[in-house]
Amino acid sequence: MATRKKAKKTSIIGVPNAKNIEKSIKQHLLSLLGRDPERAGPRDVYNAISYTMRDVLMEKWINTQQEYYDKHQKRVYYLSLEFLVGRSLGNSLINLGLYDEVDKALHNIGFELEEIREQEEDAALGNGGLGRLASCFLDSIATMKIPAYGYGIRYEYGLFLQRLIDGEQVESPDSWMRYGCPWEFQRTNFFYPVHFNGRIHSYVDNDGRYRSKWVETDDVMAMACDMLIPGYDNDHVINMRLWTAKASRELDLNFFNKGDYIGAVQSKVKSETISKVLYPSDTEVRGQELRLKQQYFFVAATFQDIMRRYKKKHDDSFNEFPNKIAVQLNDTHPSIAVPELMRLLLDDEGLSWEKAWHITINTVAYTNHTLMPEALETWPVELLGRLLPRHMEIIFEINHRFLQQVADTYPGDANKLRELSIIDENNGKRVRMAHLAIVGSHSVNGVAELHTHLLKTRIFKTFHEFYPGKFNNKTNGITPRRWLLKCNPDLSDLINDAIGEKWITNLEELRGLEKFVDDTAFCQKWQAAKLANKHRLAEYVAGCCGTVVDHHGLFDVQVKRIHEYKRQLLNCLHVIHLYQRIIENPDSVPVGRVKIFAGKAAPSYFQAKLIIKLICSVGDVVNHDPRVGDKLKVVFIPNYNVSKAEIIMPAADLSEQISTAGTEASGTGNMKFSLNGALTVGTLDGANIEMLEEIGEDNFYIFGMTAEEVEFEKRQLSRTPQKICATNPVVAAIIDSLRSGTFSDGDRNLFQPIVDSLMNPHDQYLLVADLESYLACQDIIDQEFLDTDLWTRKTILNVARMGKFSSDRTIGQYAREIWGLEV
Ligand code: 26Q
């Protein structure tokens, strides 16, 4: 393993050497798991070593907390409905510098660390990019010693498991904790009440002030579960606090007193459903009541924790609040935080509206992650008003005062009022959560330069004009610990030998690799590392998909959520084109390609599921056609998750980042591939643009329309699919194959919805319009891949120039520019 750092002595296990670790494993087997160490299996051992690491983490966490407290530092609260954690064991061992000692300890008791690591279930408490970003941020926050906490929900069921049956996605529940989770500390004596429903009692207090009280509520308890996250090589440990819903005892007693035992149990089950399951959709957010309950549940519990900690050190004037606390909202999902903080300051603390509002604005900041209009959250006023009546009142008041300001700035302009209002009056009355978050915070950031530019000039243009300076950019990043050091040990070792280990916490150091591009010995080792990773993936694919792939071929990979805007379909059209060319003339395709897909479709997203079916069906035909051989293979790896990404990313030659320009906010998979030495074929979208700027256009394959051209084309309709098919027989032949049943056993209807979407002159994602440019670009890629030395040189330059995309850089910018910390 790449890390040979030695960890310091701890009071629980003493010097963390193999001998003491072995002792601790045996103790945990006995005391916590009730297993005879002689008879323990790999899962018992996994649990025991994880408990051992948890002890080490706990001790370091207590020290870290003491440090925050002593220094009286400003604390950051990162609120997210999602944390896509993945596995914790390997990551903790590396960050704590205990990998080698644990390896030895396990060896001594007859186990291999590799095998033990495989026992761990992924914690998939997120859908995709947004959730994984939150987890990368926590790794950076811990590594950079930033006084911050992550807050979220401990879902009992994470993102659904995906199987492919006959090429169709079938979902099943992800019961990731069924054997327990050895990383968490359940704080069974640490509860906060969370209120729902009820009504507002208004009264005039002794000072003659108008006050409100929320009464006759239904209550649910929030119990804290902590997962500890170590920084890299720094003894710093931070806390991710996830809330679990528990029935309130009072409610139970009420029922029991009435002798209604069954009623009591039923209501208990109902309260506890709040933290049962993660919503599996990352777009098309339909307003389900349970989702809103989840959002408020975790926000309300989190703010009680924030207040408790603040009050330990401060008087009740709350003057210091925004100087001591920063709250970052990961998208609008926790944006009920704005009226919740107002409610606490007004109703519980008795502050004036003006003062409460000043504090709220200066405490809260909002990150936007999407440009897709259908993904912007809104809630019916009726639903929000019923579930959270006091919040609805406060939102109306916020809106009233805000619209007053708008009217003062733009006298007589009713359009401006309608456009900016927090309440959308067009579709029944609905609360626009993005507007609430923008009005209620001091900072609104996008996650890549282009994304922020489009927020300012398109979807929130009028807000940007009204609040100049509020909008800012924080380009996403990824943690190099998980996404290079951990997932790609061979490449990490090679890099360490060449330039040392500083890159692990200062990714700009990778620039030092540039001077090795002409070093033949280095290049050979570089190629060997990639080949070994490809071999590992090929073995994995043979096992899970039954398809044998040649690991010398070009591994061309697209892994991400399945969505029309991400255009997996465009990639599939390239597969069909290659197949048609191979059949016609095998020599016209110079390079063997292995097309690898993976990703989940939202369970209710028909078109996305049909795209999965198409990819699998094309794969079936191609992989079984004896004329094709090693020239082309197509695989769809089921159940994509973080651990699979860790096998896939290091093995890719080519990374597909081909969303329609102007649709992908940033993308972060693009960065993971490039950091592991894949080249990118991509559009000028999201963070691809900034990657291109860093890496240089000689080392990056760009195709397709720009965001501006896309906008223009959507208005002009000058290059419709009909026109393109009429003039380009290659394109026409590809689409014809979908109509004719080539990939559906002669069934001409199966893929008709896909043909319809491709041929629709109003196709939002302009697939056919970008197809020719995409195919041409892929031909260049074939040629360049044939030149191994050229390709290797480009991959080294890609890795060397990825410094900007460390989440350490991103977090440093949030800390300085939004949270007001000195780092
Ligand atoms: C909202 C309400 C109800 C139910 C579900 C949701 C919901 C859940 C998840 C809406 C959106 C998401 C996830 C969005 C997401 O992952 N966005 C991605 O964020 C990444 C990190 O910034 C970007 O890199 C990606 O471009 C963006 O698509």
Residue among 279, 282, 559 whose CB has most ligand 1 atoms within 8 A, to mutate: 282
Catalytic residue among 672, 794, 801, 809: 672
- Judge whether 244 counts as a catalytic residue: no
Four-CA torsion 66, 70, 72, 78, nearest 10 degrees: -10
Q: What is the pLDDT of residue 2?
A: 45
Rounded Cα distance between 680 and 296, Å, is 40
Query: 482: alpha, beta or left, given left = phi > 0 and alpha = psi -120 to 50?
Result: alpha
Residue 340: name the closest of 298, 266, 391, 292 by CA.
391
Over residues 287-306, the mean pLDDT reads 96
Assign 774 a pLDDT band (cuts: 50, 70, 90): very high
What percent of the chain lies above the pLDDT cut of 90? 90
Atom of ligand 1 nearest to the CA of 447: 22
For 362, the enclosing helix (H) or strand (E) is helix 353-363
Residue among 80, 83, 130 whose CB has most ligand 1 atoms within 8 A, to mutate: 130
Least confident among 236-245, 253-262, 582-591: 253-262
On average, the pLDDT of the chain sits at: 96
- Judge whether 456 counts as a catalytic residue: no
Distance 667 CA to ligand 1 centre (A): 11
DSSP code of residue 567: T
Q: Give me the sign of the Cα torsion angle 318, 322, 326, 332.
A: positive
Distance 282 CA to ligand 1 centre (A): 5
- Give CA separation, 351 vs 183, 319, 358, 397, 573, in Å: 40, 11, 11, 15, 61
Residues contacting residue 346 through CB under 8 Å, at least 6 positions apart: 212, 353, 356, 394
Distance 722 CA to ligand 1 centre (A): 34
Residues contacting residue 170 through CB under 8 Å, at least 6 positions apart: 162, 163, 164
For residue 725, the SS3 value is helix
Rounded Cα distance between 699 and 482, Å, is 25
Over residues 317-343, the mean pLDDT reads 98
Ligand 1 binding pocket, CB closer than 6 Å: 127-130, 133, 279, 281-282, 285, 291, 333, 369-370, 375, 377, 447, 476, 664-668, 686
Long-range Cβ pairs for the range 61-65 (8 Å, 24+): 61/228, 61/237, 61/238, 61/239, 63/235, 64/235, 64/236, 64/237, 64/238
Distance 665 CA to ligand 1 centre (A): 9
Q: Is the pLDDT of residue 770 over 70?
A: yes
Which residue CA neighbors atom 10 of ligand 1 most closely? 282
pLDDT in tens, 665-700: 999 999 999 999 999 999 999 999 999 999 999 999
Catalytic residue among 28, 333, 560, 809: 560
Distance 333 CA to ligand 1 centre (A): 10
Residue 802: name the closest of 696, 701, 663, 706 by CA.
696
Asked if residue 52 lies in contact with residue 26, where contact means CB atoms within 8 angstroms, the answer is no
pLDDT in tens, 503-547: 999 999 999 999 999 999 999 999 999 999 999 999 999 999 999
Atom of ligand 1 nearest to the CA of 668: 24
Q: What is the pLDDT of residue 326?
A: 98
Q: What is the pLDDT of residue 301?
A: 98
- Give CA separation, 393 vs 340, 381, 405, 417, 653, in Å: 11, 10, 19, 19, 55
Identify residue 702 by its one-letter amino acid code: I
Over residues 728-745, the mean pLDDT reads 98
- Judge whether 561 counts as a catalytic residue: yes
pLDDT in tens, 627-650: 999 999 999 999 999 999 999 999
Q: Crossing angle of helices 767-786/729-739, nearest 10°? A: 110
Rg (CA), the chain: 27
Rounded Cα distance between 155 and 174, Å, is 10
Rounded Cα distance between 681 and 774, Å, is 9
Q: Is the pLDDT of residue 216 over 60?
A: yes
Rounded Cα distance between 486 and 95, Å, is 10
pLDDT in tens, 143-173: 999 999 999 999 999 999 999 999 999 999 9
- Judge whether 246 counts as a catalytic residue: no
Query: In 704-796, which ranges are E strands?
Result: none
Rounded Cα distance between 761 and 377, Å, is 28
Q: What is the pLDDT of residue 257?
A: 72
Residue 569: name the closest of 546, 599, 589, 528 by CA.
599
- Judge whether 188 counts as a catalytic residue: no
pLDDT in tens, 778-815: 999 999 999 999 999 999 999 999 999 999 999 999 99
Catalytic residue among 54, 391, 456, 566: 566
